[in-house]
Amino acid sequence: MKKILQTVFLMLLTIAGQLTAEELSGDAGTRYPLGNNSGYLFRMINDHDGIELIHSGNGKIILKIVPWVLMQEESGFPPRVTYGTVPARILSSKAAAATGTYLEVNLTAEYRGSSQSGRRNYKVEYSILISKEQPVALLRCTRLIGTDSVVPRIEGFIWRISVRGESPIEYVSGKEKEFVHCRMETLNSFWLKVDGNGVFRKGEKLLEMLLLPPEVFYLEENQSWEGFGAALGIILPEADNENVEIYQDTLNELVRFSRKSSGLDTH
């Protein structure tokens, strides 16, 4: 009997193991586990304002990652400059590609609100690459699409990460050091890494990565913009004092794949 129970338990474990490698679907959006035993899942729910990282046990939200666009417009006489940052809500998400070691999910999100100076409608396509083995993920904005008849000037693209729980975030400038270190009680620690120029801004429980395009541009209606900025890497080490450099190779691989997949690298 004991033997049978052990076998059943092992079978269940195997099934669970298979399941973790696949997506977990349900009413509450689509979920993708991060790594093989990180204890976290990425959750994407349509019409929610971003990707959530949740605790696989209690479903508690740890992080929320929302794409924002920073716009600028001049209006009136004398001209007044209006800046606006506009968040996008998820329209759809779809697993696009997978290998034995990682999974790519493509998301489409949009802002559809009242069209005001500095707050114009747009659509954004972005992707998240999730490692199946290690607690490493990579986000990249792949395309920005104008959906407003008024043309705003695009000043930047922002990954805004809100952190739930106690989260004194240590600020490090994106240019000088590549890591942003965040400590909190609910999570040992996590690290963000950028593969190009990025600027971080720290709020109390908010972390922003502002990607500045090489040149400002105007988001014309029905026109799309590709190759927008660097990717954002997220590393969630298992232990507080773990050396995250051991995940560097995985992150580099994700960056390489992401560049190819978004058409930035053709070689």
Using CB under 8 A, list all residues that contact another protein.
70, 73-75, 77-80, 83, 150-151, 153, 155-156, 171, 173-175, 199-201, 210, 212-218, 220, 223-228, 266-267
Q: Of 149 and 186, which CB lies nearer to another protein in the complex structure?
A: 149
- Give the nearest distance from C-beta 71 to another protein in angstroms: 11
Output the six-digit token pair for 251.
């992150």
Least separation in angstroms between residue 230's CB and another protein is 13
Q: Write down the least CB distance from residue 80 to another protein, Å.
A: 8
| Minimum distance, C-beta of residue 78 to another protein, in the bound complex (Å) | 5
Paired tokens of 39 = 């204890």
Indicate the residue among 3 and 267 with the shorter CB distance to another protein.
267
CB 123 within 8 A of CB 12: no
Closer to another protein by CB, 19 or 216: give it: 216
| Shortest distance, position 74 Cβ to another protein, whole Å | 6
Look at residues 66, 226, 213, 77 and name the one whose alpha carbon lies nearest to residue 153. Answer: 213
The SS3 call for residue 147 is coil
**Are the C-beta atoms of 151 and 220 separated by less than 8 Å?**
yes
CA–CA distance, 124 with 111 (Å, rounded to integer): 9
When the beta carbons of 54 and 141 are compared against another protein, the nearer one is: 141
Structure tokens that stand for 22 in this block = 């696949």
CB 129 within 8 A of CB 102: yes
| CA neighbor of 19 nearest in space, from 137, 132, 99, 138 | 132
Cβ proximity to another protein: between 59 and 203 the closer is: 203
